[in-house]
Amino acid sequence: MIGPQPGLAGSLGIGALAQRVVLVRHGETEWSRTGRHTGRTDIPLDPEGEAQARLLGPRLAQWKFAEVLYSPLQRARRTCELAGLMAGARPDPNIQEWAYGAYEGRTADEIRADRPGWVIWKDGVSGGETLADVGRRADSVIERVRGVAGDLALFAHGHFLRILASRWCDLPALAGESLALSAAAVSVLGYEREDPAIWLWNDTSHLSAGKS
């Protein structure tokens, strides 16, 4: 985890622009647990994922959100619901996961059996979206987000949120390769004065608290 410690919502993003954008990756699914690329296949949370989503409620309670958006795929929608933020929340198809095309449902090892050395960030997918496509979707979401007066929560997916965070900071979408993101993790985007910044990344402390 990088950035300020949990519980400091009021101090995040102090400066000329104080908006915070809270990114929430959905809880675990059978496919995410086993490393299968899950783009538009509508996989439900598994029991562990549902438990993780419930633990997000107390973690997110410190925020007063002007808007909550969720991917219409059920793993993100259900995470939002179990976290207690579905009232007034709205689906946004632009925050769905990368469309993996022919690589949907396959693990990296399975893909590398056909394409040795394959890395999605550099080699892309077959018959799906390009990295640039996903970056453009992220840019459209950022434009919308910056038009909201207040803090937002986005319930979405690992690859998409990594790309969104990169584009928020005016970095290429490829920079998302370096931003690992766990199931049910919380991250926070904001500003250092006028400059877009990542204030918190891959916080899973709430999941550990639930097991104490």
Active-site hit among 28, 67, 97, 104: 97
The predicted pLDDT at position 211 comes to 66
The domains of the chain are located at: 9-209
The predicted pLDDT at position 17 comes to 67
Residues 6+ apart with CB under 8 A from 43: 29, 30, 31, 74, 75
When pLDDT is cut at 50, 70 and 90, the band that residue 5 belongs to is very low
The predicted pLDDT at position 18 comes to 76
Q: Determine whether 97 is an active site residue.
A: yes
Longest dimension (CA), the chain: 51
Active-site hit among 26, 157, 159, 206: 26
Higher pLDDT, 8 or 128: 128
Q: Determine whether 157 is an active site residue.
A: no
Q: What is the mean pLDDT of residues 10-22?
A: 63
When pLDDT is cut at 50, 70 and 90, the band that residue 209 belongs to is confident
Nearest to 93 by CA among 42, 50, 53, 57: 42
Kindly report the CATH number that applies to the domain delimited by 9-209: 3.40.50.1240
State the Cα–Cα distance between residues 174 and 131, nearest whole angstrom.
8
pLDDT in tens, 27-55: 999 999 999 999 999 999 999 999 999 99
Q: Which residue has the tokens 């598994």?
A: 46
The predicted pLDDT at position 13 comes to 39
